[in-house]
Amino acid sequence: MAPDRLRRDILKTGGVLAGGLLLSGAPGTGQGPARADAPTPPPPPFVDLPAGRLRGAVEGGVAVFKGVPYAAPPVGALRWRPAQPHPGWDGTRDATAFGPSAPQLYLEEGDQILGHHGSPPFSEDCLTLNVWTPGADDSKRPVLLWIHGGGFISGSGALPHYSGETFARNGDLVAVTVNYRLGPLGYLYFGEDDAGGNFWLTDQRAALQWVRDNIAAFGGDPDNITVAGHSGGALSAAALAGQSKGRPLFRRAILQSPPLGLRIPTRAESLQRTATYLDIVGAGNVAELRTVPWPRLIGAIPEMFGRTARWGYWPTPFLPVIDGVTLDAHPAELLLSGSGEGIDVLIGWTREEANFAFGLDEGYAAATRDQVVARVRDTFGRQADEAYTAYAEVRPGARPVDVLMDLIGDDLFRMPSLALAERRASRGRPVWAYQFGLPTPAHNGRLAAAHCLELPFVFNNFDKWAPAPFLAGLHPRVRDGLAATMHQSWISFIRTGDPNHHPMPNWQRYDRKTRTTMNLDAVTTAAGDLVGYWRQLRRPAAG
């Protein structure tokens, strides 16, 4: 019997595969028949790698290996240095517990939207990844490498939100999540020509290479990798597309709410940001900064927010840098030429992205029309009044802050994502586009279809998101129906490069004739050109 069919039959009868072994429904242990109320726990799966042996666990019907190091700990002299190879280990390494998350700000009480986006323990020794697989065998399954977002300052591949269990089980995939350096430890730039900057990107590049070198031992196909991410993680996926000068390092990319509208600083601009940070911490140079304990480095982030924030713009105190060493162009450009041009792309956004950052902010709620028009002028120049009126008409009864949020969402996410789709389509390169539009009733509807809201639908694991306040009030039947559709579309794209599946509407590739965009909402429909008016209005923008 073919391995895939065998696996499906086993799963149907309550069995699971891990490490190539039948773990449930197998003969007993010789101690008498297993009691129905006390099933024999499955034996742990093992994997042998060049770095050493791993012992994992079986959870939710799939094998999982947690806290696997993919690079050397970036501590001491390796702080603010590119990721280095891990030396490996002797004996069998326990891989049943997640590794520490990257150091980041943490509030015990959480926030009003996600609750928490990264939880202790935190440590600079954080360069680990996690693997979920239906079986550590030779099935050569498609691979998903998920990169979390978090504004470049928060998040973790160890979050229950991002568990790869559903993708591994429902899609017969190998799913990988990764931790990488965040905030000042990942994004400061010191102008060192040999090291460059973007230490976060060197981490992700090392993780991707680890997957290519090792994933076959977990039942994955190193030649069939999809790199997916959300927000900053989506920008990362695009940046990784340019890390090869020849054959692409992965086959497909899923970009969920990529902030392609970010202006990536030059080396000089990044050095100025680093100088601001050094002043806050009270250090004179990188050598002094290497002696500062990481809690103090993280503690400087709030003041960094204060010194770098601009009214009417999404706050980003730490940013990538075009350093000419690790990154030589804006990530969006890397999917238009060279190795990135041949990668299949699925790209999308939520309808009210910026409500995430501004919808519950009482200071912005008091914004005046004049204030917002002044911000609109940055985008539309002399057409600012016309643009303000057009945005206001889209939302009957719109307040100035509503216009501002729609503008920010368009500037940062929707319009640049569509611009990338347009440019890829003009080159005949595969690209599919979507807009997530299901609003949440939470906070009296003030968030609408905000940034991050599509994530639990993609992973189809609402039980893991239970503490997140922004999901309160969603109708279970509508929620679960849309989640089933989205989750299967993502699986289909990872497996075949095409997000279509029965019974959803036909999802055509984005092209410059139809400009098909899938509306993912209570009723999923394929729409035509969603932003024709805005495209025309923005074209002649001038100061």
CA 73 to chain centre: 22
One DSSP character per residue, 317-377 reads SS-----SSS--S-GGGGGSSGGGGGSEEEEEEETTTTHHHHTT-HHHHT--HHHHHHHHH
Instruction: HSE, CB side, 13 Å, CA atoms: give it for residue 137.
Output: 19
Element (H, E) at 164: none
Is 177 within 8 Å of 130 (Cβ atoms)?
yes
Q: How many CB atoms lie within 10 A of CB 207?
A: 27
Round to whole Å and give the CA distance between 461 and 464.
Answer: 6
Cα–Cα–Cα angle for 85, 331, 534, nearest 5°?
155
**Of these residues, 124, 353, 489, 492, which one is catalytic?**
353
Do 537 and 387 form a contact (C-beta atoms < 8 A)?
A: yes
Q: Active-site residue among 24, 451, 487, 489? A: 451
Phi-psi region of 522 (alpha: psi -120 to 50; beta: other; left: phi over 0): alpha
Annotate 409-474 with three-state secondary structure. Answer: HHHHHHHHHHHHHHHHHHCCCCEEEEEECCCECHHHHCCECCCCCCHHHHHCCHHHHCCCHHHCCC
Classify residue 247 by its DSSP letter.
Answer: S
CA distance 434 to 348: 5
231 in active site: yes
Choosing from 24, 139, 163, 231, which is the catalytic residue? 231
Q: Could you list the active site residues? A: 231, 353, 451
